[in-house]
Amino acid sequence: MVFGAETRKEPIPAPVVDEKLAGHSETAVFAGGCFWGVQTVFQRVHGVTATTAGYSGGSAETANYGAVSSETTGHAEAVKVVFDPARVSYGTLLRIFFSVVHDPTQLNRQGPDVGTSYRSAIFYTTPEQQKIAAAYIAQLDGAKVFGRPIVTQLVPLKAFYDGEEYHQDYAEKNPGNPYIQVCDVPKIAGLKAQFPELFEEYKRK
């Protein structure tokens, strides 16, 4: 199932609660299935200045792909997103996360990928992010936007560990990979269709 591109042509409602625009750099961490797809979407969002694929939720000792793939580490494949809130708000990133990046109603899986490392999670970095994300989940659930309850975990970020170099920009380096073609290219198309004012072609920063 390619959630955003195939099932929705219009973006979900914008968050009622959002941060005030400011000029300082901010960091967000999201988990929504395989980090290749999460990264390739956020790389194309106006106002995002850097992205890193990696792991959150477990210990430093197990923050490697081999261990995480065992589904015993507590880690989720995650992406660190550095952004300029004067150009794109945290609430807008959440809107993209819920509508284009993944299906937030799938528990411990995304499409063909199954396991807790593929769970939906928001690792908030500030109390304000926690407040905005909690309010938005309640807003979407209350409006029954998805038809099923959102299962996204909302937890504080304890640590983010960079993933291996070969995972960075994977979709850009391997555009012909069948997995990328089936699972991730439609997400890019969904971003462009639903958020044309925020879409920009990716150039490695």
CATH number of the domain at 83, please. Answer: 3.30.1060.10
Q: Indicate whether 204 belongs to any domain.
A: no
* Per-residue model confidence (pLDDT) at position 205: 53
Both tokens of 120, joined, read 């939906």
Q: Indicate whether 200 belongs to any domain.
A: no
Residue 204 confidence class, pLDDT cut points 50, 70, 90: low
- Tens-place pLDDT, residues 44-100: 999 999 999 999 999 999 999 999 999 999 999 999 999 999 999 999 999 999 999
> Rounded to 5 degrees, what are φ and ψ at 201?
-60, 140
* Per-residue model confidence (pLDDT) at position 202: 82
> Rounded to 5 degrees, what are φ and ψ at 85?
-65, -10
Catalytic: 34?
yes
Strands 153-156, 120-124: pairing is parallel
Side chain identity, residue 60: A
Domain span at 34? 3-194
Per the prediction, the chain carries an average pLDDT of 93
Residue 118 confidence class, pLDDT cut points 50, 70, 90: very high
Q: Indicate whether 205 belongs to any domain.
A: no
Q: Indicate whether 72 belongs to any domain.
A: yes
Number of folded domains that form the chain: 1
Residue 11 confidence class, pLDDT cut points 50, 70, 90: confident
Catalytic residue among 2, 34, 137, 198: 34
Both tokens of 179, joined, read 């997995």
Exposure on the CB side of residue 191, measured as CA atoms within 13 A: 27
Nearest to 157 by CA among 121, 189, 186, 205: 121
DSSP string, the chain: --HHHHH-SSPPPPPSS-PPP-SS-EEEEEEESSHHHHHHHHTTBTTEEEEEEEEESS-GGG-SHHHHTTT-S--EEEEEEEE-TTTS-HHHHHHHIIIII--TTSTTEETTEESGGG-EEEEESSHHHHHHHHHHHHHHHHTTSSSS----EEEE----EEPPGGGTTHHHH-TT-HHIIIIIHHHHHHHHHH-TTTB------
* Per-residue model confidence (pLDDT) at position 145: 96
Q: Indicate whether 133 belongs to any domain.
A: yes
* In contact, 103 and 110? CB cutoff 8 Å: yes
Model-level pTM? 0.93
Q: Indicate whether 44 belongs to any domain.
A: yes
* Per-residue model confidence (pLDDT) at position 2: 38
Averaging pLDDT over each range in 1-5, 18-22, 120-124, which range is the top one? 120-124
Q: Indicate whether 53 belongs to any domain.
A: yes
Q: Indicate whether 199 belongs to any domain.
A: no
